[in-house]
Amino acid sequence: MLFRIVICICLLVCVSAAQAQESRQEVRIYFHQGYSRLDTLFRDNGKRLKAFSRQLSLLRGDSTAFPISVRIAGVASPEGSIALNSRLSTRRAARIIEYMRRYISLPDSLIEIHTPGVDWDGLARCVEADTLMPMREEVLRILREVPEVTMRDGVVVDSRKARLYRLQEMKVWYYMYRKFFPDLRYSELEIVFHRPTAEIIPPTDELCERHLEMLLPAYSMPVFAGMPQLGFPAAQPEGKRPFYFAVRTNMLYDLLLVPNIGVEFYLGKNWTLGADWMYSWWKTDRKHYYWRTYGGDLFVRRYFGSKAEEKPFQGHHIGLYGGIVTYDFELGKRGYLGDRWSYGGGVEYGYSMPMSRRLNLDLTIGIGYLGGKYKEYLPMDGCYVWQCTKQRNYIGPTKLEASLVWLWGRGNVNPKKGGRL
């Protein structure tokens, strides 16, 4: 009798173990080059974090699920120094830990943190998957066989990075910089949960059933002392989201004594929306000189290229613009008066480059159409004699910028040389 009871209990344990399963919840977030700040607008980080938070919330009412391990990793791409990459790796892991603790309370004993610095293994996987990469086999050999740093008498005499630099005069390095490195700037969180899949049904043997009813009147999932339990603290406010905003002035207009100012807002996914305005009202009555104009334009831009992926408001950009303007130009001879709004628009291309922590230089040219009526006049005996009225229909360059751009907002700064903030 006792033997059969023991067998039944063993069967229950085996069935319970078979019907239990592990479920994994994981999320990966990406960072700008040289940064450890969590940007929810960058590479759909916000969408991935929201989906991950929803999955955790589903476990709120599940009393049978409990975490058994938590793995956190923070890594960097290879272009920075060893010390910088080590700091970025640690700080990026810390950012995702901060996020996790907003939604779930876990004992530190479950958490395993992995901060290796550069994700060389991830780079090797990227190279292996790219069959068209130049010198692919040599790159894989270096990644697998050459140490990250070789020291002799306390001095670095060779390194994995130096070997990669020398391949085809750095062409292979820049190929990886553009194609692979952005995917190596991330941190990752993985939580493994243990949970049963169904109610346990005891064996059907009648004798076993009777004895099990005596021993275990109501079978339920046991809760062992010391078992880590899920804790969902009250919702905490989200951290302040980054805000990207820029104030700009076209220095070419400034040189022509046409004061101007513009603003540009980051919309997400490398899109921006901006507006410019200019105003000058200079005159010299003694010689009838007039230099008057005011107007503005609206533009929408799409930034692209490796620099644009690192941070908003930098790199190549293309866009559309449209604007209105009035003017009165006369330098002692024939004058041109557009006293009604002239209008125009076109397409633009430009490149914005960082100059300091909060300052960019943006070079832009636009080609399009400018139309509207204007009057020609001559200054004669203190009067301005109208000559004719014409319709302007001009197609060609209508926009030229060498703009100084001030970066404003939370997190809207350029890294210093070497990737430091």
pLDDT in tens, 276-331: 999 988 877 666 777 888 899 999 999 998 788 777 898 999 999 999 999 888 87
Report field, pTM of the whole predicted structure over 0.85: no
pLDDT in tens, 176-217: 988 999 999 999 988 887 766 544 444 444 444 444 344 333
Task: Please name each of the domains of the chain with its CATH number.
Answer: 2-130+180-215 (3.30.1330.60), 132-179 (no CATH), 245-408 (2.40.160)
pLDDT in tens, 6-38: 455 554 444 444 445 677 788 899 998 888 888
| Mean pLDDT value of segment 152-159 | 84
pLDDT of res. 20 = 52
Spatial separation of the C-alpha atoms in residues 407 and 317, rounded to whole Å: 17
pLDDT in tens, 230-283: 333 333 334 455 678 899 999 999 998 899 999 999 988 889 999 999 998 887
Phi-psi region of 269 (alpha: psi -120 to 50; beta: other; left: phi over 0): left
Spatial separation of the C-alpha atoms in residues 206 and 267, rounded to whole Å: 69
Please check the confidence at residue 146 and state whether its pLDDT lies above 70. Answer: yes
pLDDT of res. 75 = 92
Q: How confident is the model at residue 138 (pLDDT cuts 50, 70, 90)?
A: very high
Please check the confidence at residue 368 and state whether its pLDDT lies above 70. Answer: yes
What is the number of residues in the chain? 421
Which of the 8 DSSP states describes residue 245? E
pLDDT in tens, 97-119: 888 777 677 777 788 899 999 99
Which of the 8 DSSP states describes residue 270? T
Beta-bridge partner residues of 407: 246
What are the structure tokens assigned to 417, written together? 């040389």
pLDDT of res. 410 = 73
Q: How confident is the model at residue 370 (pLDDT cuts 50, 70, 90)?
A: very high
Spatial separation of the C-alpha atoms in residues 33 and 396, rounded to whole Å: 38
Among candidates 378, 388, 389, which has minimal Cα distance to 334?
378
Please check the confidence at residue 175 and state whether its pLDDT lies above 60. Answer: yes
Phi-psi region of 43 (alpha: psi -120 to 50; beta: other; left: phi over 0): left
Strand pairing report for 111-118 and 66-76: parallel
Helix 82-103 × helix 45-58 angle, to 10°:
40
State the average pLDDT for the chain.
79
